[in-house]
């Protein structure tokens, strides 16, 4: 077990020592005596304090020590240390429009998904497969519709890999990043070079078959737009409980706004529809479906109706990305040897010591510890009352009751 903030343990230990010292100080009523008058006697309880050989109220002392130490442990945020391994692997799988056959990258990902492995899928955005990785890879291999029609982005893959690395850094000594992709030009953007510098080790690249270069220039067609709110589309189904999300991404354009999500992609998935925009958590926000010469763009994004959001430049860029003609020009040329060398890098695997940890959050053990502290505090109050340990108010009342009348 490790602690996120061990300083609180030290502080609680010092407070516990103070509590032990206080229990060696015994406060009691002094020996009574007869006075000729009480005119100059203060109206306060008569108590005297002395140092005892052994601490008083051992049960109360134990309860108070437990409360202090457990409170310190809760603030220190304990977490169970996972079994450590030599190398943890992060696999980033390209599911963008540049991929020719989803089965290729699914099979490649399966070969690298054994042991302690985290899998990321990315196109213009990236998301981690947290549950059912094997089933998710099977879905990718069997359904070509899961391949997005948005361009890939190595930048989004690197950002997601850094986030996963910060989470698993305590589980391994080194990290291996594997990128499975056709490695085409359009996936390399202006931020990729800087983000590559943030990964402190080499990257293994696995090339899969991509779309033929002669398919990159296709006829442009104006899309027919339909809205999920109209209820005339079968591509979306209503959410049981609408939620709010802070951003949506279409191509290179990002729109930041508190959108209310009322729709999700309908199941079973329509194999003729492709994702052209995603919410920030990776869920589809807009789909494109081609049937013969007709292209339909189905949008589940509620447009802002209040505030100045529609006047902002990012809204104009986002709207322009949604309004692009169907089958725009792509750049499926393979990355140059220089860019591939830059992406792969040299040297050893990334050391976990060089990865920054994530900002600490409350660990799962903290609520349980605080619950025990609350129960102990109630028990301490009960024991204190049963043992007859006086409070300040009780002492005041007792002093007034025993006060001698003035002659």
pLDDT 10s digits, 335-357: 999 999 999 998 888 887 777 76
pLDDT at res. 343: 93
pLDDT in tens, 273-309: 778 889 988 889 998 887 766 788 889 999 888 778 8
Percentage with pLDDT > 90 across the chain: 16
* Nearest 10 degrees: Cα torsion 246, 99, 133, 264: 40
pLDDT category, 202, cuts 50, 70, 90?
very high
Q: Is it the case that residue 145 has pLDDT exceeding 60?
A: no
For the chain, give me the number of helices (H) and strands (E)? Answer: 10, 16
Distance from C-alpha of 188 to C-alpha of 339, rounded to nearest angstrom:
9
pLDDT at res. 221: 61
pTM score: 0.55
Q: Is it the case that residue 402 has pLDDT exceeding 70?
A: no
Most confident of 107-121, 180-194, 224-238: 180-194
Residue with the two structure tokens 């109050």: 381
Tell me if 172 sits within 8 A of 150, measured CB to CB. Answer: no
- Domain boundary assignment for the chain: 2-77+362-401, 85-217+331-354, 224-322
Q: Which of 157, 148, 149, 150 is nearest to 192 (CA)?
A: 157
Distance from C-alpha of 134 to C-alpha of 287, rounded to nearest angstrom:
26
Q: What angle do CA 259, 265, 270 make, to 5 degrees?
A: 150
Average pLDDT over residues 325-332: 68
The average confidence (pLDDT) of the chain is: 79
Q: Given 3.40.30.10, 2.60.40.10, 3.40.50.300, 3.40.50.410, which CATH number is that of 85-217+331-354?
A: 3.40.50.410
Percentage with pLDDT > 70 across the chain: 74
Q: What angle do CA 116, 117, 123 make, to 5 degrees?
A: 170
Average pLDDT over residues 11-35: 77
Q: Is it the case that residue 220 has pLDDT exceeding 70?
A: no
């Amino acid at each position: 077990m490790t602690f996120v903030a061990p300083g609180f343990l030290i502080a609680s230990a010092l407070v516990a020592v103070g509590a032990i010292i206080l229990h060696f100080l015994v406060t009691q009523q002094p020996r009574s005596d007869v006075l000729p008058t009480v005119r100059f006697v203060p109206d306060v309880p008569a108590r005297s304090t002395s140092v005892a050989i052994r601490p008083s109220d051992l049960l109360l002392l134990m309860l108070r020590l437990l409360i202090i130490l457990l409170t310190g442990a809760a603030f220190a945020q304990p977490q169970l240390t996972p079994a450590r391994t030599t190398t943890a692997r992060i696999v980033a799988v390209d599911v963008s429009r540049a991929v020719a056959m989803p089965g290729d990258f699914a099979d490649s990902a399966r070969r690298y998904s054994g042991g302690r492995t985290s899998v990321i899928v990315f196109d213009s955005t990236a998301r981690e497969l947290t549950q059912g990785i094997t089933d998710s890879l099977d879905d990718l291999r069997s359904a070509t519709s899961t391949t997005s029609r948005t361009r890939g982005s190595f930048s989004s893959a690197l950002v997601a890999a850094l986030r996963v690395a910060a989470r698993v850094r305590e589980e391994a000594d080194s990290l291996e990043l594997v990128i499975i992709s056709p490695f085409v030009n359009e996936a390399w953007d202006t931020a990729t070079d800087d983000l590559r510098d943030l990964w402190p080790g080499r990257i293994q690249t696995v090339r899969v078959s991509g779309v033929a270069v002669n398919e990159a220039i296709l006829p442009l067609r104006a899309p027919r737009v339909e809205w999920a709110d109209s209820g005339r589309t079968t591509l979306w189904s209503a959410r049981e409980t609408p939620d709010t999300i802070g951003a949506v991404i279409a191509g290179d354009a990002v729109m930041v706004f508190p959108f209310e999500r009322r729709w999700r992609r309908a199941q079973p998935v329509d194999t003729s529809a492709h994702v052209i925009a995603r919410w920030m958590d990776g869920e589809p926000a807009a789909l494109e479906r081609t049937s013969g010469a007709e292209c339909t763009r189905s949008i589940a994004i509620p447009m802002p109706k209040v505030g100045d959001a529609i006047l902002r430049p990012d809204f104009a860029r986002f709207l322009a990305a949604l309004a692009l003609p169907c089958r725009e020009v792509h750049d499926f040329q393979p990355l140059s040897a220089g860019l591939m060398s830059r992406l792969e890098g040299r040297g050893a695997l990334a050391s976990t010591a060089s990865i920054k940890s994530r900002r600490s959050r409350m660990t799962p053990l903290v609520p349980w510890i605080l619950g025990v502290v609350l129960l102990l505090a109630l028990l301490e109050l009960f024991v204190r009352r049963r043992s007859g340990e006086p409070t300040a108010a009780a002492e005041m009342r007792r002093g007034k009751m025993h006060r001698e009348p003035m002659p």
